[in-house]
Amino acid sequence: MDDFLNIWGCFFKIEGIVQGVSFRRHTKQEAKRLGIRGYCMNSKNSSVVGEIQGPLDRYMKMKAWLTHVGSPLSRIENAEFQNERLIFNYTYPQFRIKSEDNDPNAERLLNADDSDDNMT
């Protein structure tokens, strides 16, 4: 199946020591290496959140990297992936790092099931 017919996407939230350790920069480098599109950004609760999109094989590799590898100085304690779905078109031209205030909906989406309202 052609890649354009097999594009998967999801939102992610990575918790642990992931801010101040070049996690976003390394995430962007890995996404570029794998041909993954989307974004990542620091959240107010010291996690890194974002969205990834790509062909299934590369998408799964990126999820594994976010879960188990990260940047050299990071310590990943928890990785959440939500709204996993097959998509028909990319919604991002590349992978980029966003600042916290660029997309407030991303963090809200990831915390929709949390009872702790101080993460929005």
From 88, 29, 79, select the one nearest 53 (Cα to Cα): 88
Catalytic residue, candidates 37, 42, 58, 111: 42
Sequence ranges of the domains in the chain: 3-88
- Spelled out in words, what is the top-level CATH class assigned to the domain 3-88? alpha beta
Q: Which residue has 């790092």 as its token pair?
A: 97
Q: What is the pTM of this model?
A: 0.79
Respond yes or no: is residue 24 known to be catalytic.
yes
C-beta separation of 34 from 11 below 8 A: no
83 part of the active site: no
- In tens digits, the chain (120 residues) has pLDDT values of 444 568 999 999 999 999 999 999 999 999 999 999 999 999 999 999 999 999 999 999 999 999 999 999 999 999 999 999 999 999 999 999 998 655 555 545 444 444 333 332
pLDDT confidence of residue 103:
53
Per annotation, catalytic residue among 24, 37, 58, 111: 24
